[in-house]
Amino acid sequence: MGSSDRFLDFLRATLGEVPSKHLPTPGKFCRFGGTSKPMWALLFEDGQGGIAGDWRDNSTHVWQAQTHPLTPQQSERVRQALQQVRAQRERQQRQQWACNAYKLRRMMAESLPVEPGSPVAYYLTRRLGLRALGGFVPGWQQQVIRYAPALPYFDEDGQPCGSHPAMLAALTSPQGELVAIHRTWLTPDGQKAHVPGPVKKLTSTCGPLAGAGIVLFSGPDEQGVIGIAEGIETALAASLGAGVPVCAAYSASNLAAWCWPEQTRRLLVFADHDPAGQKAAQTLLGRALGAGLQASILTPSTPGQDWCDVWAQRAAKAVQA
């Protein structure tokens, strides 16, 4: 078995996948693994060693044809190769982020405000149990939520599957820069559209997601209180119920890493009642307490529920009363 074949066996064992079109060429950097090609490999020119990894988890694996420990010269070669890989990754990421930034700015620029009678207004009022979209505490940033009349949808293989009305929500960095857009495809009457799954709601990013969020409110209230929840609807429901500004983190992992505004004195974490939500909430709580804030976690009493479910049930009872 030649060194290229042995290197392929190494890739299968460590990454679970190999390049589909051709064998790695010695001395040439190779990317593979789906449309975004997050996996990479480099077989050294002499075929006696190589490195590989996955950018999604920043893993790196070293392979050598011989089983003895690396010599100082081989270790230096690995170090130089890793520097080359990191530099190439950074260049490619900067280029991709610049391309994505243009697309995201264009998507937001072509969208419309959420007006009464639009699919987005129907969707939010239905989800929140409201007769009209409004009644939020001061600081509600309505421009963060936008309406796209006909947003194209693509399936898992990148094939177009028609266009639908959609709710757009801007994810911004702690510095206020747009880094991604959250999309919810809808029907004209404000129901969630039936599109082929799994639905990829988040666009490609144009910057780091860590600490980013959907800034539904401009900042804490006059007492320095602000809340954070995972989803958009959950955050708006929590704000309606608690009477405080509540922003959305988009996901459990982002909730754990969320960066609160500087004026914050008290943080309320409106956690989903599921394992991921509880773990993320505890992580954020620890960060907030460590920073000297007053902080607490609020969780629905019923497992599996979020605060949007709780608010909708409350609104339904009020209508029936």
> What is the pTM for the complete model shown?
0.76
The pairing of beta strand 225-229 with beta strand 246-248? parallel
User: Count of CB atoms within 10 A of residue 166's CB?
Assistant: 26
The SS3 assignment for 118 reads coil
Q: Is the pLDDT of residue 166 over 50?
A: yes
Q: How is residue 142 annotated by DSSP?
A: G
Q: What are the two backbone dihedrals, phi and then psi, of residue 57, each rounded to the nearest 5 degrees?
A: -120, 10
Q: Is the pLDDT of residue 258 over 90?
A: yes
Predicted local distance difference test score (pLDDT) of residue 321: 42
Q: How is residue 246 annotated by DSSP?
A: E
Predicted local distance difference test score (pLDDT) of residue 317: 53
pLDDT band at 296 (very low <50, low <70, confident <90, very high): very high
How many residues can be counted in the chain?
Answer: 321
Give the CA distances from residue 238 to residues 219, 271, 314, in Å, rounded to whole numbers and listed in that order.
Answer: 15, 10, 12
Query: What confidence tens digit (pLDDT) does each residue in 131-147 have?
Result: 777 778 888 898 999 99
8 Å CB contact between 65 and 3: yes
Residue found under tokens 């010269």: 73
Q: Is the pLDDT of residue 302 over 60?
A: yes
% of the chain surpassing 70 pLDDT? 96
Q: Is 181 exposed, middle or buried (0-12, 13-18, 19+ CB in 10 A)?
A: buried
**Cα gap 278→115, rounded to integer Å:** 35
pLDDT band at 275 (very low <50, low <70, confident <90, very high): very high
Query: What confidence tens digit (pLDDT) does each residue in 216-241 have?
Result: 999 999 999 999 999 999 999 999 98
